[in-house]
Amino acid sequence: MATHATTAGRLEVICGPMFAGKTSELIRRARLHAAAGNRVTAIAPARDTRYGPARIASHTGDFLEAAVIGDAAELLRACADSQAVVIDEAHFFGDGLTTAIRQLLATGTLVIIAGIERNHRGEPFPPFPALLCEADEVVKLSSKCARCGGPAIHSQRLFKSDEAIVVGGADSYEARCRLCFNPNEPESLC
């Protein structure tokens, strides 16, 4: 006979372009749950070393200590006894993250993820198409367009690369509005 969690899991998704405050909001929510006495595990992708090892960090310098995993298959082991799990840069884990998150939700775990839901071409960034449908709550943030100052929903890559994921900051990406976003711009820079 299957056993069921005594409480329902919950998935909260924080998404938007780079420089929108996604990680800051993730850290804020993690601290609220920790202050309420919940066992919270923060998860960071191994490939993101911009702000040092074993941490989730915002561009403003705020951070949380985190377990570092290389891929989604490691998630369940990293947060075995957690009541809440926060995952930054969820797009670094791809579609494999969806299955692991569904398993956490089935155990009654609160899962909060943050990441970019559109790639540098403006297309859906896995695992967000599936996780946005699965979410109990979606917070979609915008930034300020680096060109015109309007509301930005895109992350404009400033260099040419065929790689789906390239870790970078303000030197490599800009937040752009719909009018200023041009996914073919990096090709014109070469």
Active site residues: 89
Query: What is the 3-class SS of the chain, one letter each residue?
Result: CCCCCCCCCEEEEEECCCCCCHHHHHHHHHHHHHHCCCCEEEEEECCCCCCCCCEEECCCCCEEECEEECCHHHHHHHCCCCCEEEECCHHHHCCHHHHHHHHHHHCCCEEEEEECCECCCCCECCCHHHHHHHCCEEEECCEECCCCCCEECEEEECCCCCCCCCCCCCCCEEEECCCCCCCCHHHHHC
